[in-house]
Amino acid sequence: MRGRWKAVAAVVLGGMLAVSGCGGNDEGGGDASQVEVFSWWTGPGEADGLQAMKADFERKNPGTKFVNAAIAGGSGTQAQAVLASRLQNRKPPDSFQGHAGAELLDYIKAGQIEPLDSFYDDNNLRAAYPQQLLQQITYQGKIYSVPVNIHRSNVLWYNPRILKDAGLSGPPKTVAEFIAALKAVKDKTGKVPLSLGAQWTADHLLENVLLGDLGTDAYNALWKPGADWSTPAVTRALTDFAEILKYTTVEAASTDWQGAAKAVVDGKAAFNIMGDWAYGYFVNPAPNGLGKKLDTDFKYAPAPGTDGTYMWLSDSFTLPRGAPHRAGAIAWLKEASSKEGQDLFNPKKGSIPARKDADRSLYKGYLEYAFNEWTRPDIKLAGSFWHGVAANKKWHTDIDTAVGLFLQSKDVGKLQAALVNAAKNSGQ
């Protein structure tokens, strides 16, 4: 297992420039009167999980006011733009959410976040987190974030009744089977074969098709320095991506992932490929969740072609340099890294804890499956590029631009050329 993690770590961190001027003292001190926590957890499930962790934080820190600075927008697209402006203007929040992995490199290189090594030592976190995960969040020998959870990006959610009506015996296991299943749904049921939301959900779909067609090793190799995106294998994957998009209804930018996922459990769409945060949204009770039933209203499977691979991402929190209420920030990081905080947050969010000592009895249904998958000795790992593990911000933005143009032109050749250029110019 560790060897695979090291291989992924090499993909994420290999070939990057050394950081200078990013040393820091992460001891406590400073103003603990409040803590402003910046995130994008505003949707059903995730907002409930944050509220549960906030309540535990306030119980443990009665003299500290918790300021929820969450900004709506799936995958953090809007929030990160606001955050960048604040950091550039030297008005950081006390702690902000970021995906563990390459996404944090820009903050590290700019000296905008502090290393947290002594925080880990003071709170015995090196023993609490899996060694493999610590390797992922270490850069130039230092740790810069506190993971709260582990998410799986490569999940196929489907409506079992629509699949039955389409004459399908179960979820497709390969990308080719997936395309055939989409056609069957369209021809036999009149339902939407694959629901899609705002543009980032198309980026999310792309990473799943690449993984499903290329396989784990070839997918991971795409994120290494000097990777070749011009190969026939990538062409085939992009061609499949284009074919799959023919069976989607691309919604307006205002329609986020929740609307696309809801279409499946409401019986309007057969499939949705989305991370497992959708599970919390599906099963949490109304009004913040949909109150749906696993195996009746929806089922799940690995995204086509990806069984045996866990495409992972992790939400984490940081300590910005110059945090106005530094002691409050340290107190929040203690909550985010605690067993109690993670066990309160993750069952509602639809994720599993990053810590090794979680109470597994709290994780039922899909989450029990996710726990078992994550800890399988033979599981392969792939870092999500869209959700911050494999690609830095520039590369991430360039891919998103290429996908946006492709959604208009449907020209696979132009898409591949843009992705080749994005890799060459990533600076990663």
Q: What is the pLDDT of residues 175-227, one digit of tens each?
A: 999 999 999 999 999 999 999 998 999 999 999 999 999 999 999 999 998 99
Is 317:333 a contact under the CB 8 Å cutoff?
yes
User: In terms of Cα–Cα distance, which of 146, 86, 58, 59 is closest to 324?
Assistant: 86
What average pLDDT does this structure show over 278-300? 92
pTM: 0.86
What average pLDDT does this structure show over 158-184? 98
3-state secondary structure 84-115: HHHHHCCCCCCEEEEECCHHHHHHHHCCCECC
Query: How many angstroms separate the CA atoms of 368 and 373, rounded?
Result: 9
- Domain pair 18-150+315-372 / 155-311+386-424, same fold: yes
Q: How many residues in the chain?
A: 428
Query: How many angstroms separate the CA atoms of 299 and 153, rounded?
Result: 16
Residue 80 — pLDDT band, cuts 50, 70, 90?
A: confident
Does 26 score more than 60 pLDDT?
A: no
Does 18 score more than 70 pLDDT?
A: no
What average pLDDT does this structure show over 310-334? 96
> Residue-wise over 235-250: b if at least 16 C-beta within 10 A, else e?
eebbebbebbbebbeb
- pLDDT > 90 fraction of the chain, expressed in percent and rounded: 75
Given this model, what pLDDT does residue 254 score?
A: 58
Sequence-separated (6 or more) residues with CB below 8 Å from residue 113: 104, 107, 144, 145, 318, 319, 320, 321
Domain boundaries, the chain: 18-150+315-372, 155-311+386-424
Query: How many angstroms separate the CA atoms of 365 and 323, rounded?
Result: 39
What average pLDDT does this structure show over 148-156? 97
Q: Assign domain 18-150+315-372 to its CATH architecture.
A: 3-Layer(aba) Sandwich (3.40)
- Mean of pLDDT over the chain: 90
Within 10 angstroms of residue 107's Cβ, the number of other Cβ atoms is: 23
- What superfamily does domain 155-311+386-424 belong to in CATH? Periplasmic binding protein-like II (3.40.190.10)
Given this model, what pLDDT does residue 250 score?
A: 62
Sequence-separated (6 or more) residues with CB below 8 Å from residue 246: none
Within 10 angstroms of residue 98's Cβ, the number of other Cβ atoms is: 25
